[in-house]
Amino acid sequence: MATNPAGKVLQFSQGHRSDEWLFADVFEHAPNGMALLDSDGRITHASSAFCKILGFRRAELLGLGLSEITHAEDVETEAEQRKRLAGSEIDRYQLVQRLIRQDGAATWVLLSISVCRRVSGFPEYYVLQVESGGGHLPIGDGAAPDALAHLLGEAVHEIGNTLTPLMVNTQLIVEHSTPGEICDSAHVIFNAARRIAFTLRRLRGLKDFQSVAYLGQARMLDLRTVAPPGKAE
């Protein structure tokens, strides 16, 4: 069993290797908050940093469901992503959301969750990491600037993952089809996707776009080089 002044952290059976003691110490002393959730989403282990972010003692957190310490307006979104994770639709997710501290105040965090599965493929437990958004916000207040920056970054990443194959495939249709309705429709879709990509990048303050560029033989699109509307129709 690995311990620290705050109390017990992770427990192992006698005879387990010493490297597992090391992993327990890493969990406890990680710079960001860490927690393990069982398959029902209840906290089974919590690090000191996680307890500090929320103002709870460790014993108070153990057994609580993640939904019980999530702001009411964010519960549905988090639960839906965890459902997708459990069903193997995604392999992890990140959310900028509010958790509820022991004193009832809401605090913005960057929440990252992955899953460890049984041999059968069903979730055995979830690994949760929390990065504090810095400061606490009364329930109902607007998003913190840092939280908004994280949200924009995640939006660019997730939508970019969808835009890349869309733009590559429609561009291929344009290149290999004869002029006509199919070619014209593909061109319209490509230009619409390019406008979305440019708008997302502009939200993050990126400038000086050049022509559309593909990376390597697989023609992976580099969205950082997408030209703004009007420059490369």
Per-residue pLDDT for the chain (233 aa), expressed as one digit of tens each?
444 434 444 554 444 556 777 888 888 888 899 999 999 999 999 999 999 999 999 999 999 999 999 999 889 989 988 998 998 888 888 888 899 999 999 998 888 999 998 877 888 899 999 988 654 444 444 455 555 566 666 666 667 667 777 777 777 887 788 888 888 888 788 778 777 777 766 665 544 444 344 444 455 555 555 555 554 44
DSSP characters over 81-138: HHHHHHTTS-SEEEEEEEEE-TTS-EEEEEEEEEEEE-TTSSEEEEEEEEEEEEEEE-
**Nearest by Cα to 42 from 23, 8, 70, 21:** 70
| Extents of the domains making up the chain | 31-137, 147-225
The Cα–Cα gap between 63 and 53 comes to 18
- pLDDT score at 204: 58
pTM exceeding 0.85: no
Residue 72's pLDDT is: 92
CATH superfamily of domain region 31-137? PAS domain (3.30.450.20)
